[in-house]
Amino acid sequence: MLERLQRRLGLQTIPAVFFTSAGIATVFVMLAVPFDQQVADSFGQLTGWVAHHLGWFYILSVSGLLVFLISLAISRFGSIRLGADDSRPDYSNLTWFTMLFAAGIGTILMFWGVAEPVSHLSKPPFSGVAAGSEKAASDAMTLALYHFGLHTWTIFALPGLAIGYFAYRHNLPMRISSLFYPILGDRAFDPWGWAVDIVAVLGTLFGVATSLGLGTLQLNSGLSYLFGIPSVGLVQVALITTISGIAATSVALGLDKGVRRLSQINIILAIALIAFVAVAGPSVFIAEGMVQSVGDYLHALPWLAFWTQTFSESDWQRQWTLFYWAWTISWAPYVGIFIARISRGRTIREFVAGVLLAPTTFTLIWFGVFGLSAIHVEMNGQVDLAQQVQQDPSVAIFAFLDTFPLAGLASALSVVIIVIFFTTSSDSASLVIDMLTRRDDQPSLVRQRIFWAAAQGVIAATLLLAGGLDALQNVITSLGLPFCILLVFMAVSLYRALRADYRGYSMGELVRGQALPEVEAPSDDSQENDYVPETSDRH
pLDDT of residue 468: 64
Paired strand residues for 142: none
Q: Is 269 exposed, middle or buried (0-12, 13-18, 19+ CB in 10 A)?
A: middle
The radius of gyration computed from the CA coordinates of the chain, to the nearest angstrom, equals: 23
Question: Of 483, 424, 479, whose CA–CA distance to 453 is shortest?
Answer: 424
CA distances from 108 to 7, 510, 515 (A): 39, 40, 47
Residue 219 has pLDDT above 50, yes or no: yes
Mean pLDDT computed over 459-472:
74
Identify the band that residue 20 occupies on the pLDDT scale cut at 50, 70 and 90.
Answer: very high
**Residue pair 188/177 in contact by the 8 Å Cβ criterion:** yes
Q: How confident is the model at residue 104 (pLDDT cuts 50, 70, 90)?
A: low
User: CA 343 to CA 100: how far, in whole Å?
Assistant: 10
For the chain, percent of residues with pLDDT exceeding 70 = 88
CA 3 distance to own-chain centroid: 32
Average pLDDT over the chain reads 83
- pLDDT above 70 for 350: yes
Kindly report the backbone phi and psi dihedral angles of residue 347, in degrees, each rounded to the nearest multiple of 5, phi listed first. Answer: -75, 165
* pLDDT of amino acid 522: 37
Residue 362 has pLDDT above 50, yes or no: yes
Tell me the residue type at 60: L
In this predicted structure, what is the pLDDT of residue 442? 84
Q: What is the mean pLDDT of residues 86-94?
A: 84
pLDDT at 481: 87
pLDDT value at residue 530: 37
Region 252-281: what's the mean pLDDT?
77
Section 295-305 average pLDDT = 94
3-state helix, strand, coil in the chain (%, to 5): 80, 0, 20
CA pseudo-torsion sign 388, 393, 395, 399: positive
Q: With 50 as the cut, is the pLDDT of residue 304 above it?
A: yes
> What is the number of residues in the chain?
539
Decide: helix, strand or coil at residue 347: strand
pLDDT of residue 534: 37
Asked if residue 520 has pLDDT above 50, the reply is no
pLDDT at 100: 73
**pLDDT at residue 511, rounded to an integer:** 62
Does the structure show a pLDDT above 90 at 349? yes
Share of the chain above pLDDT 90, in %: 33
pLDDT over 90 (residue 275)? yes
Nearest of 207, 457, 213, 230 to residue 335 by alpha carbon: 207
CA distance 262 to 260: 6
Q: Is the pLDDT of residue 300 over 90?
A: yes
How confident is residue 505, by pLDDT bands cut at 50, 70 and 90?
Answer: low
**Which segment, 75-89, 221-235, 458-472, is predicted with the most confidence on average?**
75-89
Catalogue all structural domains in the chain, each as residue range(s) with its CATH number.
8-503 (1.20.1740)
More confident of the two residues 255 and 338 = 338
- Give per-residue pLDDT as tens, 312-338: 878 888 889 988 888 888 888 878 888
- Sign of dihedral through CA atoms 442, 443, 445, 446? positive
Q: CA–CA separation, 157 vs 131, rounded Å? A: 36
Kindly report the pTM of this predicted structure: 0.84
Confidence grade of residue 516 (pLDDT, cut at 50, 70, 90): very low
d(CA 144, CA 142) in angstroms, rounded, equals 6
Q: Sorting pLDDT into bands at 50, 70 and 90, what band is 67? A: very high
| Per-residue confidence (pLDDT) for residue 257, from 0 to 100 | 54
What 3-state DSSP class applies to 105? Answer: coil
pLDDT for residue 161: 95
Q: What is the mean pLDDT of residues 392-397?
A: 84
Residues 6+ apart with CB under 8 A from 380: none
Most confident of 31-35, 229-233, 350-354: 350-354
In 380-467, alpha helices (H): 385-391, 396-401, 407-436, 446-465
- Residue 351's H or E segment, with its range, is helix 348-366
Region 242-261: mean pLDDT is 68
Selected residue with higher pLDDT from 520 and 235: 235
pLDDT reported for residue 419: 81
Q: Which residues pair with 347 in a beta bridge?
A: 81
